[in-house]
Structure 1
Amino acid sequence: MYNHNFEMGNLVFIRNSRQDGPLHDKMKNQYMGPYIVVKQRSGGAYIVAELNSLIFGHTIAKFRVIPYLA
């Protein structure tokens, strides 16, 4: 797995964990976003916000976040 360190203001995708497992739908998106990184917590989780500045409801685990490349 990748080990990225994102800084405040970076654009990222979040892995849709509902698509993991044997019963996932291959036609649905595996990633959600893009989101903006607001802060990285001490344990490595991220606080992210939507592009309209609305903060995501909970922290996102580090392994679920990948860089957004435009």
Structure 2
Amino acid sequence: MSNKPTHDVCLVEENGDKAFFTNVGSAWLKDTGTISVEIRPNLSVSGRLVVSQFEIWPNFSLQPVS
């Protein structure tokens, strides 16, 4: 696994016809074709997750959750 992640992992929360994305981790595309996901420590995640390559949202700035 490379040290640099290839994908963002986001939690999707829907409110009516709007969707809000919160970055909850990173993912790496491995040579075997599988994706390895790492969720940030001490974070409980449930619901829908989206794993997307960084360049899919070139103008989208993800802010860390404190």
TM-score w.r.t. length of structure 2: 0.33
More strand by share: 2
TM-score in terms of structure 1 length: 0.32
